[in-house]
Structure 1
């Protein structure tokens, strides 16, 4: 969370560093952690969002007033002085947060990537040798396929339709089983096994691989999917070159988004990976 947060704050041109960057990163993470869960996580998320809204509005105002000078091409410059310069401050601030918050959310998948690498240390050589780029991308996609980051997506039907043997009426609530779709044995060979090589052999269709929604990017698929994968590739490239011990507890599937109950990375040093150690 802290690493992804401080990185995106710098990348976004906010100029926030040090303790303030860590505090903002924590607030961004709290919003993500509370989006699908009841109190107290929801209450923390609500308070964090209130602080972030005020903070982002101040950034936009300061940049427009010339008190901040974000680099051209950064998110803050775009929303304050670039294409978004005519947006109301409130709207520009929301757009800025919509750039920062999803990047921090990728740290949840980064955690699952570290766990997967610790569980499959033999993959590290493929992620650092010749042709590593393709293997890194494949490993990242397999992490997204097998990680229950968002166990379900829901929506309301806007029209009547029939699918398979089921009638859906306008107004019905639809629940998409994301992990079930990504690991369905009828759609995936060796569905329950962690096999990054599957993504070297083929790229699955838009409705079979749905870690961030199904269909095209113009529909209900997350437009940040490419950025998510790129961030995971960078994370995996670093981890594969680093020796570490990862200690983790069981993954909590009683909340959205999911995470291990406990996780610790230690003994970071150049060298080979050590196997994952479960918490006692």
Structure 2
């Protein structure tokens, strides 16, 4: 039996913080292998990259999610006992809830809320003629839109701090020290708010529309360990409510990178002013492929098995390289070049194009909101190229691949914002 290539250092935790998004890819290239072993926080870990690695990783007969999410991430980004941490029948039932909520007819309603938000925001930006930090404003826009759609509309006074807390939970993913503590406190405040909302819905003190996402989650039933159907606890229902809101706010990372791509590729900015929906889709997909969003995802080995002659011991933590797979030279021509036209010919599938994870939507752990994310980016592109003109002043637009997650340091500042003639006619 072959031996999995192993890192020389006893523990790679500091190296991961140093190398960030490129950690797995760099070491796979060094070992000339799609798999290597190391330790994180003294825990034996196997790292995978590439299309074949993704196919293996998303085989639910070989991997489980229980115990794969580190406690700091549960207490900031995901929440405890959320759908992302479940397996088998319990995961299937909870995932089915999310897939029903995010069915195309339903998320089109959310897109309408987003479009209304963009209309209001761009009109305000043009009227006030003040500098706008796109990332911050987009977070508020998306937070208001998704809360309206969910069934828990936000008063104006709450939009800024609710969106900030959602963003801090996302930003804490790879953070230590103050960044982690901010995310942890944001999680605490937000769970308390969401739990109270669910309690009020169940008591009849808070009216929500039948069939709305909030109503679906508040009334969702699952079998307990004895097989009896019961509601999710108010705490867990609140966690899953947040798992609709927080990822929607996280789309602001992609939208900010999309604005950066428009700025750095002005020919595409001009092209998208009259582009087809297909071309908008190419651009949005390339934003998701090219720019860093999720670095990796984890699972544990269900039962020991052998793959390519390598033994994967039971319960071993396994990490799949998302960013590196999207920049794999075997899968993508010139992967470090921003080139939307590649999607005109490239056959993307669930294992070679995995910016938000891979595998199957229904039976696996692929992000239920991926289609929504793509459409939300396209919507933002329409507004940024067809509804407004703006200037991009001198600023720090760089981003670090060592920081997880990362974004342009300035947040993408826009000035001298004006409505286009087409936008003025529409209004």
Contact 2:297 2:319 in 1 (8 A): yes
How far 1:170 moved relative to its partner? 3.1
Rate the CA distance shift 1:86–1:114 in 2: closer, same or farther, 3 A: same
Q: Partners in 2 of 1:35 and 1:43 — Cα distance? A: 11
Alignment of 1:57-76 (within 5 A): 57-76=195-214
Structure 2: how far apart are the matches of 1:240 and 1:161? 51
Change (3 A) 1:195 1:163: farther
- Who is 1:177 aligned against? 321
> What CA distance in whole angstroms lies between the structure 2 residues aligned with 1:173 and 1:92?
28
Are 1:252 and 2:400 matched, yes or no? yes
Match among 251, 254, 279 for residue 109 of structure 1? 254
- Note the 1:8-47 alignment, pairs <5 A: 8-47=146-185
Q: How many positions carry a matched residue from both structures? A: 270
Looking at structure 2, the residues matched to 159 and 83 of structure 1 have their Cα atoms a distance apart, in angstroms, of: 32
Out of 252, 269, 272, which is 2:418 matched to? 269
Q: Secondary structure of the residue that 1:129 maps to in structure 2?
A: coil
8 Å contact 2:144–2:153 — kept in the other structure?
no
Shift in Å at residue 167 of structure 1? 4.3
Distance in 2 separating the partners of 1:124 and 1:71: 40
User: How many Å apart are 1:106 and its aligned residue?
Assistant: 1.1
Which runs of structure 2 are paired with 1:155-166 in the superposition (5 Å)?
155-164=299-308, 166=310
How far the C-alpha of 1:229 sits from its partner, in A, is 0.9
After superposition, give the CA deviation of every residue in 1:133-192 in whole Å (9 maximum; x if it has no partner). 111111111000001112222333334444457543334433322222112112112322
Kept in 1: contact 2:290–2:335 (CA 8 A)? no
With structure 1 as the length reference, what TM-score do the two structures score? 0.87
The answer to whether residue 398 in structure 2 is matched with residue 235 in structure 1 is no
- TM-score w.r.t. length of structure 2: 0.59
Shift in Å, 1:53: 1.0
Provide the rounded CA distance (Å) in 2 between the counterparts of 1:169 and 1:219: 22
8 Å CA contact retained: 2:195, 2:235: yes
Shift of 1:2: 1.4
Please tell me the root mean square deviation across aligned C-alpha atoms, in Å.
Answer: 2.3
Q: Name the larger-Rg structure.
A: 2
Task: Give deviations 1:56-95, integer Å, cap 9, x for gaps.
Answer: 1111122233333223332222223x54694332222122
Matched position secondary structure for 2:367? coil
Instruction: Decide which moves more: 67-76 or 40-49.
Output: 67-76
Comparing 150-159 and 258-267, the one that deviates more: 150-159
Answer 1 or 2: which has greater helix percent: 2
Unaligned runs of 5+ in 1: 273-280
Q: Which residue of 2 aligns with 1:54?
A: 192
Alignment of 1:214-225 (within 5 A): 214-217=358-361, 218-225=363-370
Provide the residue aligned with 1:90 in structure 2: 235
Q: Match for 2:264 among 98, 116, 119?
A: 119
